[in-house]
Amino acid sequence: MTNEISSARYWNIEQCSIPVGKVTIIAGFCKGGDDCDDCIRFCPEKVLERGTVPNEKGFFPPVVVADGKCTVCGRCQLYCSENAIFVEKIGERYVTAEEIALREENSQ
């Protein structure tokens, strides 16, 4: 561990809110599988996994495996070349300074 302190402790934040999102996948548009999976790869919260049920085109759309963990960063939506996925903010949850520090420590 370094001498750095988390941003929450630096600014003396007791708690803050994090957006909570809902991920919607349009399975018929998806070309997921060996040639893609960008939405899965770029999700920092690991909300998605490759699905096991093919769509009508024979591709394997992702499935949401961590409902409630989406922070509406939009990376899945940004990197989907087929516009088969989108996120929307449905609420927010509050986290403590300790939780923020753990998140920052685990992301390094």
Q: How confident is the model over 79-97, as pLDDT tens digits?
A: 999 999 999 999 998 888 7
User: Is 22 inside any structural domain?
Assistant: yes
Is pLDDT above 90 for 71?
yes
Question: Nearest Cα to 45, choosing from 70, 80, 23?
Answer: 70
Domain that holds residue 84: 7-106
Q: What separation in angstroms does the CA of 2 have from each of 5, 11, 32, 105, 108? A: 8, 18, 40, 10, 11
At 31-47, the pLDDT tens digits run 987 788 999 999 999 99
Q: What is the model's pLDDT at position 48?
A: 97
Q: What is the model's pLDDT at position 73?
A: 95
**Bigger pLDDT: 46 vs 11:** 46
User: Is 2 inside any structural domain?
Assistant: no
User: Is 1 inside any structural domain?
Assistant: no
